[in-house]
Structure 1
């Protein structure tokens, strides 16, 4: 637990990050319209107004500036900020000019290498996933598997960013639950940095949620890449080493819903002989919208499900549930989700319209 003095300092830092994010979002709206950094309605999109794509830029600038104001050493986080800056720049360029998927992947791999080789944040082991007394060490596969996992989670955040407030809310849930674990573990530096990130996300949500009938700003690819990278940094950093604060399997539960939805969707795309990275409208939030849920109802339901999964992770952590049982539970939830998705696609009446021949072939 932290003392009152440190708690006040962390609160002041969070307040600064929140206020700075809000100010930047307000100031950058006309700039975004002037330079064309906006998202136009049409196609697969569900919004009806031209919306600035400045959320990611504002959150990163506020996050980085507020971190400089903290009375802690930031030397161990240099690669966190370097990788974040790289992804924000590439994401902003993508928001403006729509970069190819290969270029985005190169940037993500580069950021992952900054994290692993430069920052020393590496998946050394998977914990005791299969056997209670057998540590699943990765050995020479540590760095490549960390890069794969990092790119995968970054894209999971990017893929779930299809509903106002959804990606930011799910990342916020993961950050808050990680913060709870770090709080009881007394890790001041991690709490401080994650607190700043949480504050910037909260400020962004005030502009992104449809509190006034429509979203005022979107985070864009700059935001989803940034949030995904920072999240995976802390999930890995806090779950590795002799002084780890949580087991690797707990990290899975804290961000379970986007991971499960992304894995299930990519498997389904492969079964349909499509590219697993092809954009479509087959994510869980798309299914909820097609089933008749309003955007706000779909968002609320997914946030509740994500919060429930994160609470399972917290309960398993604090109650000392064996890691292999937590892992088998995660696999069971993944299997259940995949089965339900396949059944939903099979039942045409659920959609109210016929499925394509390729859908029938798999369903």
Structure 2
């Protein structure tokens, strides 16, 4: 597993070196301006490298891949539409159709279907979906894909959040003795780690060298949906449904809160803006790197709560109500973005200004 991870890191890094100059020559780049945080033209090579490294390595693994055919087909579909969108922005309807088509494939052919939601209200009544399983599953898959794409707003943010998610799933599959799934997850984790070498701001003045692009964000969102659903449902269940929600908790809360806010303001839920939580942190004075680290810390905390709740045997109902409480707090904060920003700015100034004063005094 360590070898597979290391090879994925090296292959993704090598592909980024090869693809980036070509991407710049053919215009597969992201230009600065508008709502964007970067200040220079950046190649959209990360998603291509991650997708190609994943496909090449998985096909060389000595594991049966029969039940993965649906995932491979859906991944190819959504990767292509994402790549086309990276070249020239496609209509939202075309992107939605492609996402829904990929969801249909993995739900109907790949059996990535939510049949039950666990014991959400008490320990004796399991919430089952019956005839609603297929439409609800497709809705959730499309939602996870979009949540992943909407999280891709700062250098290292979406890649870091997804790496935390897939590492948690890797740990779960290893503990559950599912070596085949663990090897494939090791490939995804290695590919993301190789991408983050070029995308994460290890220093504040070192911006990302490549971006993930829609091709990579949509593919990784589909992969997240595939594993979360498959591992939370019988006959392959290793996670409780609410544990899966906690593992993907930050993108869920951010996306739902923002979309509800847009609808309440009479705007399209898919209209872009600068009201995500990471935008609020930036307006409060935090640097891009600090904002990403805060978001990754929150994602890691939610992941640990989710896994800890399952390992300690905390009833699903408690985990469900706890997540609802947390989401309510998050939602109220997003809907009071100006007040939240000012409160965070005070926190930021309390930590930054004394440090600067101390530095000047030392000088």
TM-score scaled by length of structure 1: 0.92
Tell me how many residue pairs correspond in the alignment. Answer: 343
Distance 1:93 1:73 in 2: 31
1:294 maps to 2:287: yes
Counterpart in the other structure of 2:329: 336
Counterpart in the other structure of 1:114: 105
Deviation digits for residues 110-131 of structure 1, max 9, x if unmatched?
1001101111111111111122
Check the 8 A contact 1:264/1:338 in 2, yes or no: yes
Q: For residue 299 of structure 1, report the CA deviation from its aligned partner.
A: 0.3
1:144 maps to 2:123: no
Counterpart in the other structure of 2:59: 68
Equivalent of residue 185 in structure 1, options 176, 182, 200: 176
1:223 maps to 2:216: yes
Q: What is the DSSP-based 3-state SS (H/G/I as helix, E as strand, rest coil) of the residue aligned with 1:48?
A: coil
Distance 2:8 2:243 in 1: 28
1:279 maps to 2:261: no
Distance 1:94 1:350 in 2: 38
Q: For residue 275 of structure 1, report the CA deviation from its aligned partner.
A: 0.9
After the TM superposition, which residues 43-192 of structure 1 pair with which residues of structure 2 at under 5 Å, given as runs?
43-192=34-183
Q: What is the DSSP-based 3-state SS (H/G/I as helix, E as strand, rest coil) of the residue aligned with 2:127?
A: coil
TM-score scaled by length of structure 2: 0.92
Distance 2:222 2:307 in 1: 22
Equivalent of residue 234 in structure 1, options 227, 233, 238: 227
Counterpart in the other structure of 2:356: none
Check the 8 A contact 2:118/2:126 in 1, yes or no: yes
Deviation digits for residues 51-88 of structure 1, max 9, x if unmatched?
00011111011001101121100111111111111111
Counterpart in the other structure of 1:210: 201
Deviation digits for residues 194-232 of structure 1, max 9, x if unmatched?
110000000000011123611110000001101100011
Q: CA RMSD in A?
A: 1.4
Q: For residue 320 of structure 1, report the CA deviation from its aligned partner.
A: 0.9
Equivalent of residue 255 in structure 1, options 248, 256, 269: 248
After the TM superposition, which residues 323-362 of structure 1 pair with which residues of structure 2 at under 5 Å, given as runs?
323-346=316-339
Change (3 A) 1:348 1:288: closer
Counterpart in the other structure of 1:313: 306
Counterpart in the other structure of 1:30: 21
Check the 8 A contact 2:280/2:341 in 1, yes or no: no
Q: For residue 345 of structure 1, report the CA deviation from its aligned partner.
A: 2.8
Q: For residue 342 of structure 1, report the CA deviation from its aligned partner.
A: 2.4
Change (3 A) 1:270 1:83: same
Change (3 A) 1:265 1:183: same
Check the 8 A contact 1:168/1:205 in 2, yes or no: yes
Segments of 4+ moved more than 3 angstroms = 346-352
Q: Which moved more, 1:279-288 or 1:238-247?
A: 238-247
Deviation digits for residues 271-292 of structure 1, max 9, x if unmatched?
1111111111110100100110
Deviation digits for residues 142-198 of structure 1, max 9, x if unmatched?
111111001101110111100001001111111111111111111111111111000
Distance 2:262 2:59 in 1: 44
Counterpart in the other structure of 1:360: none
Structure 2 unmatched ranges of 5 or more: 346-363
Change (3 A) 1:260 1:25: same
Q: Which moved more, 1:303-312 or 1:72-81?
A: 72-81
Check the 8 A contact 1:40/1:51 in 2, yes or no: yes
Q: For residue 349 of structure 1, report the CA deviation from its aligned partner.
A: 5.1
Distance 1:73 1:242 in 2: 17
Q: What is the DSSP-based 3-state SS (H/G/I as helix, E as strand, rest coil) of the residue aligned with 1:217?
A: coil
Distance 1:340 1:112 in 2: 32
Structure 1 unmatched ranges of 5 or more: 1-9, 353-363
